[in-house]
Amino acid sequence: MLELYDGALDVPAILKRWYEEEAKSNYGAYIPFIGTIRDEDSIEGLSFDVYEPILISWFNSWQNKAKAKGAIIKMAHSKGDVMLHESSYIAAVFSPKRRVALEFIDAFVEDFKASAPIWKYDLKHGERIYAKDRSTAIQGSGILS
Amino acid sequence: MLELYDGALDVPAILKRWYEEEAKSNYGAYIPFIGTIRDEDSIEGLSFDVYEPILISWFNSWQNKAKAKGAIIKMAHSKGDVMLHESSYIAAVFSPKRRVALEFIDAFVEDFKASAPIWKYDLKHGERIYAKDRSTAIQGSGILS
Amino acid sequence: MVRVEFLGPIQKDPLALEITNLNELAKILQGDDELGEWLKTSAVAVNDTLVSSLECELKDGDKVSLLPPVCGG
Amino acid sequence: MVRVEFLGPIQKDPLALEITNLNELAKILQGDDELGEWLKTSAVAVNDTLVSSLECELKDGDKVSLLPPVCGG
């Protein structure tokens, strides 16, 4: 399940709903990863563009990898502006066993950072500045150059 | 912070309280690990004995390791009986950066399984049966034999 | 007509081009000064599937997207 | 007197012993059939600190704990 929200995430509500959705699914391990906007580089917040069609197919391919190990993943992400100390990202894995869950959340979050079609902007003095230095070219980039 | 509860954990309430406690601490990553009792081997639930003095010193040594990386950990565990599909364990790491948090939660949960002075019993037909086959001898065991 | 979209921070309006493959698109975009460095760092999707080479035929109604470097989370 | 406690699933009441080191304790417990396999698989703590060898003096009021295999979570 992939959820997109305008602005900041209501983290406690999402963590609670996901926990309750899977309460009887017989998973032994639930590991959410929550990403929160840090106060650094004098930013007022961050802003996100999301390209949904490719994000959905990327997410579905990970959901299939999870299913092959008896696990499932859920993810929530913000669109638009998210202010300091608010949260923009939750990814969670549910799995029967802890090793699968611990390895899966790590691999998922790292590939999310490298591949998910989301663009981040610093909010500074009311401007929206592409976070070029922290961004990663998707694998296979540059074929048109 | 180490919290012990009689019986099952109120997972949504604990996750929410921890998130709010650190809302202004400027951590970028929050990763809780939640352990839930699976329906397997015809058990009715699990039961736990906890030896607090050594659990606290074990936990404090991990808290110091976390602090050295700019992170903190929180943990909640049940004492006594916890029924099927209820949760008995939450460990969480907060850290400025995601790599530290992802590596720390894995190392912490694995050492918890190998070292924390907690004993697990299956509840079957009203009996409390030590989970000997799933238990791990603490490092350095056997010196008296 | 093939529609070409520029995603995220690439500040450029979509194009509608009469092309039949990605090689033709590459030649057109390489001549577009407005794109600057973006061609080197962007991935390419055809009808929302990422492609890894220019060996890709295009037909009327197809959509090509350029995806610059990402940073979610 | 040194108090010796058996934790978790070891079903045995605490002992109060006149001993001055862990070697003496080892000899006493090795003769205790009630303990069976537990000595081989249990860790030892003196005053709630785990110890890794028998080279440990004990004094009046000390507490020794035996910790059998663990499984939290």
What CATH number is associated with residue A101?
A: 3.90.1170.40
Q: How far apart are CA B145 and CA B143, in angstroms?
A: 6
- What's the pLDDT band for B138 if we cut at 50, 70, 90? very high
**Chain A interface disruption, residue of B84, B98, B110, B134, most A CBs within 10 A:** B98
Q: Give the count of alpha carbons within 13 A of A35, CB side only.
A: 22
Instruction: Tell me which residue of B51, B35, B47, B46 sits closest to B110, measured CA to CA.
Output: B35
CB contact under 8 A, B30 and A36: yes
User: Residue C23, SS3?
Assistant: helix
Checking if the pLDDT of C8 tops 90, the result is yes
A130 in a domain, yes or no? no
Q: To 10 degrees, the CA torsion angle through A33, A36, A40, A42? A: 150
Chains C and D touch, using 3 or more CB pairs below 8 Å: no
Q: Are D63 and D47 in contact (CB under 8 A)?
A: yes
B129 in a domain, yes or no? no
The verdict on B26 touching D (C-beta cutoff 8 Å) is no
Q: Are B112 and B82 in contact (CB under 8 A)?
A: no
Number of domains comprising chain B: 1
A144 in a domain, yes or no? no
Q: Where are the alpha helices (H) located in chain B, listed in sequence order? A: 11-21, 52-68, 98-115
Instruction: Tell me which residue of A78, A60, A63, A57 sits closest to A121, measured CA to CA.
Output: A78
Write out residues 24-53 of D within 8 Å (CB-CB) of B: 25-26, 29-30, 39-45, 48-53
Checking if the pLDDT of B1 tops 90, the result is no
The residue range of the domain holding A11 is: 2-42+51-117
A99 in a domain, yes or no? yes
Output the CA–CA distances (angstroms, integers) from residue A49 to A81, C51, D66, in the order listed.
9, 21, 58
Q: Are A14 and A90 in contact (CB under 8 A)?
A: yes
Q: Return the residue matching tokens 């009715």.
A: B44
Q: Are A31 and B31 in contact (CB under 8 A)?
A: yes
The verdict on A89 touching C (C-beta cutoff 8 Å) is yes
Query: How close, in Å, is residue A49 to chain C by CA atoms?
Result: 6
**What's the pTM value of the predicted model, to 2 decimals?**
0.96
Q: How far apart are CA A31 and CA A126, in angstroms?
A: 36
Q: How far apart are CA D27 and CA A145, in angstroms?
A: 79
Checking if the pLDDT of B8 tops 90, the result is yes
Tokens of B58: 């074990």
The verdict on A120 touching C (C-beta cutoff 8 Å) is yes
- Residues 6 or more apart whose CB falls under 8 angstroms from that of B63 comprise B72, B73
Chains D and B touch, using 3 or more CB pairs below 8 Å: yes
User: Which residue in chain B is spatially nearest to A105 when comparing CA positions?
Assistant: B102
Share of chain D above pLDDT 90, in %: 92
A133 in a domain, yes or no? no
Q: Which chains share 3+ C-beta pairs under 8 angstroms with A?
A: B, C
Q: How far apart are CA B62 and CA A121, in angstroms?
A: 36
Domains identified in chain D and CATH numbers: 2-67 (3.10.20.30)
A123 in a domain, yes or no? no
Chains C and A touch, using 3 or more CB pairs below 8 Å: yes
Interface TM-score (ipTM) > 0.85 = yes
- Classify residue A89 by its DSSP letter: E
- Burial class, C62, CB count within 10 angstroms (exposed 0-12 / middle 13-18 / buried 19+): middle
Q: How far apart are CA A86 and CA A64, in angstroms?
A: 30
Q: What share of residues in chain A are helix, strand, coil (percent, to 5)?
A: 35, 35, 30
* 145 residues of chain A, pLDDT tens digit each: 899 999 999 999 999 999 999 999 999 999 999 999 999 999 999 999 999 999 999 999 999 999 999 999 999 999 999 999 999 999 999 999 999 999 999 999 999 999 999 999 999 998 999 999 999 999 999 999 9
List, for residues D38-70, the tens digit of each pLDDT value: 999 999 999 999 999 998 899 999 999 999 999
Checking if the pLDDT of D36 tops 90, the result is no
Q: How far apart are CA B140 and CA D42, in angstroms?
A: 8
Q: How far apart are CA B94 and CA B29, in angstroms?
A: 6
Mean pLDDT of chain B: 97
B141 in a domain, yes or no? no
- What's the pLDDT band for C22 if we cut at 50, 70, 90? very high
- State mean pLDDT over C29-36: 92
Q: How far apart are CA B35 and CA A28, in angstroms?
A: 6
Neighbours of A72 (CB within 10 A): 19
A28 in a domain, yes or no? yes
Q: How far apart are CA B32 and CA A15, in angstroms?
A: 10
Q: How far apart are CA A90 and CA A80, in angstroms?
A: 16
